[in-house]
């Protein structure tokens, strides 16, 4: 601290006027208020579909389809219960009998107003689990591979580096759907059709091109001097990478993780074509809820909600790193 104090010039007269730009007058104040209000309005407009979906998920069926839409309603878990179960419509007598019973589970009680009884589990739970496994694994794999290759591209003299990087980027130039048929045929031959492994490999390779480029930008920003210092201080290149580079690339890794996860999680076309029962993920399953007897809006909304939650969790868990600045170092640009 002593050195810092010594560097500041002595203040002879007290400063009586504010030099802060934002305190100059009323005008900037009003402008910042207006900006704030506009931002809030835009946020509301953007969030309406999400809020609407959330409300619908908790509405009983009549409220979900009523015109004009109801804003106030008694929340129910009907949507969620029907999402995860298979049900049978009860006849009037059966329904009366069910109403008299006292040994009903809470799920059965929830479905009672719909005159339905639960006869088994639906596929959705497993499909959601498939999504978690496939999206999670492919995200972890693509981030690991991407960090390593981005580090190599950033630090070493790789022969044909520019061509390789362009090749990696060019993977993104072709619309993915174009290659669905060849991939479908290859997967059939290789026995990867409808397997979690097949989907993990596919999503990993899709994510890699983008992840390498994104991470390389972040790693380029980390000055090499840190590693030089660590090498001289008695560490190997790999140890220096783990102890010095990785902690500093956290922001980039977090961003790459979120982007990769969102892609793998949301992917629809390949999931629809390359999976059937075993490895089917959630995205192609949600529209199938439409099928059975009338449009189950609250079930669909509940499915979308359940589908949304993991992405929110991942993003929320990494938000601190996403928000933090990239260069936070103690290297002086001389």
Partner 1 sequence: MSDVRLSNITKTFGDINALDDISLEIKDGEFFVLLGPTGAGKTTTLRIIAGLEKPEAGEISFDGEVVNALQPADRDVAFVFQQYSLYPNMSVYDNLAFPLRSPLRKTPEPEVRQRVTAAAEKLRISHLLDRKTARLSGGEMQRVSIGRAIVREPRIFLMDEPLSNLDAKLRESLRVELKHLQKTHGSTTLFVTHDQIEALTMADRIAVLDAGHLLQVGTPTDIYDHPATTVVAQLVGTPRINLLPAQAADGQIQVTESSLRVPLNGGRASGEVMLGIRPEDVRLGSGGRFEGSVILTETLGVETLVHLRCGGQALVSVVAGAAPYGVNSTVHFDIAPDRLHVFGAGGVRVN
Residues that bind partner 1 (CB under 8 A): 1, 3-4, 7, 223, 225-226, 228-236, 239, 244, 247-248, 328-334
Question: Is the Cβ of residue 27 or residue 332 nearer to partner 1 in the bound state?
Answer: 332
Question: Is the Cβ of residue 184 or residue 226 nearer to partner 1 in the bound state?
Answer: 226
Q: Is 118 helix (H, G, I), strand (E, B) or coil?
A: strand
Question: Is the Cβ of residue 231 or residue 322 nearer to partner 1 in the bound state?
Answer: 231
For residues 262 and 100, what is the distance between their CA atoms, to the nearest angstrom?
Answer: 47
Residue 235 CB, nearest approach to partner 1 (Å): 5
Question: Is the Cβ of residue 231 or residue 272 nearer to partner 1 in the bound state?
Answer: 231
Residue 19 CB, nearest approach to partner 1 (Å): 23
In this structure, what token pair is assigned to residue 248? 């500093």
Residue 4 CB, nearest approach to partner 1 (Å): 5
- For residue 239, the surrounding DSSP H or E stretch is helix 237-240
Residue 239 CB, nearest approach to partner 1 (Å): 6
Q: Decide: 116 and 88 in contact? Cβ < 8 Å.
A: yes
Question: Is the Cβ of residue 62 or residue 247 nearer to partner 1 in the bound state?
Answer: 247
What distances in angstroms separate CA 152 from CA 106, 119, 215, 217, one per listed residue? 56, 56, 11, 12
For residues 65 and 70, what is the distance between their CA atoms, to the nearest angstrom?
Answer: 9
Question: Is the Cβ of residue 25 or residue 334 nearer to partner 1 in the bound state?
Answer: 334
- 189-200 in b/e form (b: 16+ CB < 10 A) is eeebbbbbebbb
Residue 11 CB, nearest approach to partner 1 (Å): 19
Handedness of CA 191, 194, 196, 199 (dihedral sign): positive
In this structure, what token pair is assigned to residue 284? 């192609």
For residues 114 and 106, what is the distance between their CA atoms, to the nearest angstrom?
Answer: 14
Q: Among 51, 105, 113, 127, which residue's Cα sits nearest to residue 78?
A: 113
Q: How many CB atoms lie within 10 A of CB 269?
A: 13
Question: Is the Cβ of residue 218 or residue 261 nearer to partner 1 in the bound state?
Answer: 218
Question: Is the Cβ of residue 163 or residue 233 nearer to partner 1 in the bound state?
Answer: 233
Residue 217 sits at φ, ψ, to 5 deg, of: -60, -45
Residue 144 CB, nearest approach to partner 1 (Å): 20
Residue 332 CB, nearest approach to partner 1 (Å): 5
Q: Decide: 331 and 225 in contact? Cβ < 8 Å.
A: yes
Residue 159 CB, nearest approach to partner 1 (Å): 15
């Amino acid at each position: 601290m002593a050195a810092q104090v010594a560097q500041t010039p002595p203040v002879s007269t007290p400063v009586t006027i504010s030099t802060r730009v934002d305190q100059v007058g009323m005008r900037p104040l009003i402008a910042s208020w207006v900006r704030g209000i506009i931002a809030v309005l835009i946020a509301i407009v953007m969030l309406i579909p999400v809020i609407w979906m959330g409300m619908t998920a908790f509405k009983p069926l009549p409220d979900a389809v009523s015109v004009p839409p109801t804003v106030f309603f008694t929340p129910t878990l009907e949507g969620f219960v029907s999402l995860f179960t298979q049900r049978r419509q009860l006849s009037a007598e059966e329904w009366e009998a069910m109403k008299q019973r006292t040994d009903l589970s809470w799920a059965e009680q929830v479905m009672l107003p719909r005159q339905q009884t639960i006869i088994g589990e639906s596929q959705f739970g497993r499909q959601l689990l498939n999504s978690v496994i496939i999206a999670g694994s492919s995200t972890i794999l693509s981030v690991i591979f991407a960090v390593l290759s981005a580090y190599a591209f950033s630090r070493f003299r790789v022969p044909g580096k520019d061509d390789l990087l362009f090749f990696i980027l060019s993977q993104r130039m072709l619309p993915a759907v174009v290659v669905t048929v060849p991939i479908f045929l290859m997967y059939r031959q290789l026995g990867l059709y409808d397997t979690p492994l097949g989907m993990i490999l596919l999503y990993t390779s899709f994510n890699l091109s983008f992840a390498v480029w994104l991470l390389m930008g972040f790693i380029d920003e980390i000055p090499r001097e840190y590693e030089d210092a660590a090498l001289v201080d008695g560490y190997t290149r790999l140890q220096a990478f783990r102890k010095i580079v990785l902690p500093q690339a956290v922001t980039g890794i977090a961003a790459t993780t979120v982007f990769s996860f969102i892609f793998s999680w949301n992917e629809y076309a390949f999931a629809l074509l390359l999976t059937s029962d075993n490895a089917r993920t959630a995205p192609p399953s949600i529209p199938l809820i439409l099928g059975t007897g009338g449009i189950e809006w609250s079930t669909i909304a509940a499915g979308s909600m359940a589908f949304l939650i993991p992405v929110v969790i991942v993003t929320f868990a990494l938000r601190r790193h996403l928000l933090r600045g990239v260069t936070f170092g103690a290297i002086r640009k001389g």
